[in-house]
Amino acid sequence: MQNIKDFYSSEGTLVDRIKPYAMTLFFVVILVDLILQIPKGPAMFNFFPKLYFWIFVSLSGFLMISILGSMKEQLHKYITGTIFVIFSLLALVGVPDSFPFYAPGQEQHEIEGQRIQKVDKIKVSIGDTDVKPTAVYGWIDSTVLSLKVKFKTHFRSLVNNLLKAMVPLQKELQDMPWYLFAGLLYLIAWKVNGHKIAVLSVTGLFILNIFNLWDGAMVTMAVVGTATFLSIVIAVPVGILAAKSDRVEKMVKPMLDMAQTMPSFVYLIPAIFFLGIGMVPAVFATIVYAVPPGIRLTNLGIRLVSPELKETARAFGTTPWQLLVKVELPLARPTIMAGINQTVMMALAMVVIAALVGAGGLGADVYAGVQQLEFGRGLMGGLGIVILAVIIDRISQGFVKDPSSA
């Protein structure tokens, strides 16, 4: 904006005119809030109860309207308007004690006809902070529980099927003589990225072997390998869908942001709850964390294919499927491969956290080191993970290279 006068101009729609005032008011309230040190959270209703809440709600309403006002659809305006009115009325009447978010936490389960009595959620204290349970926790927990009850057999068969694939893989990897594994790895690395990387990889394996990290490394490989494979199976199709449809992209992006910013420990809780202890929940928690870069870069790679080349292909009579398979995917390959590389790295980063749910492997060494304050043990486990990471990263970088620049 050039000057204040322009900012508060009286031109444009109602929303345009209200927007600057709403923004100003919002910042003023925040300022007053800071100066008077008004308490936050439910406690704030004890202080100046109705008016404060009313101001807050109306400001959020104004802001939402002003943001959504830029959209063309009238519908959005009506929805936000309705929300605004409901919150305002609620604020005028006063927030009842039973207002869901602030009610004290209780949970009430009913499992297969058997009634379980109401239990107050335990109040937890960490340091000086009280972590108060609220009713929302109970809602989520009971939903999750009922899901588990409903799909018990499905989860069980899922775990069994995955284990059927993973246990032999892990066994095979552990039982294989290390030199055979090294030979295979040398061949793969040489084919993909040349002798230099191949020598580096085998040297890494040699180090793992002489420090007795071999078994752990193989378990970790089994978990990371399975998680990566499943991640790719999910990431590439979703990425393609997101590239093809702006709507899908808009829906997927916030989910990916959340998956990546949410502390990864959180995924462990439902994973254990549904899938028990062991490699399977570890794989699932890893997938949630490792899938986002795969989806993002697949989407990006396909969107970056030049419109001229797509037009050319269409002019020669490609079907949408041919366009994807013969033009878009090959041209997006370097970017997709970079995404897969990132996926593997993310999966390795989850190894220690996965050890918490009993996935074993090198992560377990680190975890044990932390628990018993054995620095040596933790460090060697960590080094093992680093060596694995270097080997996998260098080999998979070979796929990223463009064939025409080779």
- Shortest distance, CB of residue 316 to another protein, whole angstroms? 5
Closer residue to another protein, CB minimum distance, 247 or 326: 326
Report the amino acid identity of residue 52. Answer: Y
Residues 302 and 328 sit within 8 Å (Cβ to Cβ): yes
Between 13 and 404, CB nearer to another protein: 404
Distance in angstroms (rounded) separating the CA atoms of residues 295 and 254: 12
Q: Which of 180, 316, 321, 372 binds another protein (CB under 8 A)?
A: 316
Check binding of 326 to another protein (CB under 8 A).
Answer: yes
One residue of 36, 319, 379, 386 binding another protein per CB under 8 A: 319
Tell me if 353 contacts another protein by CB under 8 A: no
According to the binding rule CB under 8 A, does residue 73 interact with another protein?
no
* C-alpha distance from residue 303 to each of 50, 246, 335 (Å): 50, 11, 11
Contact mark string toward another protein, 252..291, x via CB under 8 A: ----------------------------------------
Residue 321 in the binding site for another protein (CB under 8 A) = no
Q: How far is CA 114 from CA 60, 102, 110, 327, 348, in A?
A: 44, 28, 6, 59, 43
402 touches another protein (CB under 8 A): yes
CA dihedral of residues 44, 45, 51, 52 (deg, nearest 10):
20
Candidates 9, 312, 379, 386; binder of another protein (CB under 8 A) is 312
Verify binding: residue 331, another protein, rule CB under 8 A: yes
> At closest approach, how far in Å is the CB of 63 from another protein?
29
Rounded to a whole number of angstroms, the CA Rg of the chain reads 28
What is the spatial distance between Cα 17 and Cα 1, in angstroms, rounded to a whole number?
14
Q: Is 313 a residue that touches another protein (CB under 8 A)?
A: yes
Stretch near another protein under the rule CB under 8 A, chosen from 83-91, 139-147, 255-263, 327-335: 327-335
Shortest reach from residue 97's CB to another protein, in Å: 52
Binding span for another protein by CB under 8 A among 132-140, 207-215, 317-325, 390-398: 317-325
- According to DSSP, the β-strands at 129-131 and 119-120 are unpaired
d(CA 384, CA 231): 23
Tokens of 2: 């050039």
Asked if residue 150 lies in contact with residue 160, where contact means CB atoms within 8 angstroms, the answer is: no
Tokens of 207: 């180090």
Q: Which residue is listed with tokens 């390795």?
A: 348
Chain positions contacting another protein, by CB under 8 A: 308-309, 311-319, 322, 326-327, 330-331, 333, 402-405
